[in-house]
Amino acid sequence: MGFGFTIVKKDEGSFRRLGRITTPHGDIQTPVFMPVGTQGAVKALTPEEVAGEIRAEIILCNTYHLYLRPGHEVIERLGGLHCFMNWHRPILTDSGGFQIYSLSALRKVIDEGVTFQSHLDGSTHFLTPERAVDIQRALGADIIMCFDECIQYPATFSDTEAAVKRTSAWAARCREQARGPGQALFGIVQGGMFRELRERSIQELRQIGFDGYALGGLSVGETTEMMRAVVEHSVPLLPEDRPRYLMGVGTPADLVECAGRGIDMFDCVLPTRNARNGMLFTRRGKLVIKNARFREDERPVDEQCQCYTCRTYSRAYLRHLYMAREILSYRLNTVHNLFYFTTLLDGLRTAIGDGTYGEFRRRFYEEQKNAGDEEEDRQ
């Protein structure tokens, strides 16, 4: 079975829709949130927990990190990433472009590719578009990403234009490189905050032709309003019959707003990273579990949440674990946060399917606004 995308239902008068992505390792219902398993693991959880309690249909793994450690050749010899990490549902791997961008002083970009130094040992590596595809082919992901040039914010028009030109050239080279059976290749739209350049990037990628299209170069310092404006302007220009992926975004409100603007796929480290920092997402806003006011609080994190953490443990216990720096704190907090995100997407899909997205969005903000005694935790 190869890759495919089917629009299940469109919400008349808007770009939001329900979809189904087909891959060699199973189907994905969209809109979907992908938990991030950077180094072949969703931090603090087993793959069985991510598939079971969290109900994730797809996860994201990182090409840059797996290339450096343990090495894509090792993973390929051991049966590919699915076998290596015992995850038998779909996997998306990003190309490593964003991670190399974040190295800043440790990289040099030329038209052929990027020279960079490993953050692990300082060793020098040269990554080309062809090499990025080869690594992802070896990893065996179901969906792989083109190598792109992500630039900082703010950036000048000329620098952004140069990055768009290079990204399009690299995308064409990625498209020509051999992939594994059933592997889908997504192009990545760049262009910063410049509408003209976003339009040019989309046009050039569409001419090449990809299985899906991602909006990249966001969550790099721009305001939320700017990010959403880029999404709103870009979505109508993307092919309707291909998945739309918003990379590295975002908050619960971002998911609600951007799914409403027609985005099909999301990923973000926010739920797992915040869990390890003691910040929990609830329908009534964020809850900072270290606050002294939870020391004897017998309630669950969220009384309406059905995750294992909320079914089993009190805020008082979770605060104790966090203050004691027990590893169990990271696990239980991560279970809750990821469950919150997947449940939020469940609700979004139901609302889009029922034609009640507007009511869902209104209720989401109303609950956040009326956070009550959780409001203090946002400070």
pLDDT tens column, 295-352: 999 999 999 999 999 999 999 999 999 999 999 999 999 999 999 999 999 999 999 9
Report whether pLDDT(379) > 70: no
Kindly list the structural domains of the chain, giving each domain's residue range(s) and its CATH number in brackets, ordered by start.
Answer: 4-268 (3.20.20.105), 275-378 (no CATH)
pTM for this structure? Answer: 0.96
Of 269, 283, 246, which Cα lies nearest the Cα of 15? Answer: 246
Pairing of strands 143-145, 184-189: parallel
Among the options 94, 142, 211, 264, which is catalytic?
Answer: 94
Report whether pLDDT(62) > 90: yes
Range scoring the smallest mean pLDDT among 75-89, 99-113, 291-305? 99-113
| 22-38: average pLDDT | 98
pLDDT at 212: 99
Q: Residue 371: pLDDT band by 50, 70, 90 thresholds?
A: low
First to last CA, the chain: 50
142 in catalytic set: no
| 62-70: average pLDDT | 96
| 6-24: average pLDDT | 96
Among the options 11, 148, 254, 267, which is catalytic?
Answer: 267
| 181-201: average pLDDT | 98
Q: What is the pLDDT of residues 345-369, one digit of tens each?
A: 999 999 999 999 999 999 999 999 8
CA distances from 267 to 34, 140, 147, 252, 312 (A): 5, 19, 18, 11, 28
Q: What percent of the chain has pLDDT over 70?
A: 98
If one counts every other C-beta atom within 10 angstroms of the C-beta of residue 240, the result is: 12
Paired strand residues for 7: 19
267 in catalytic set: yes
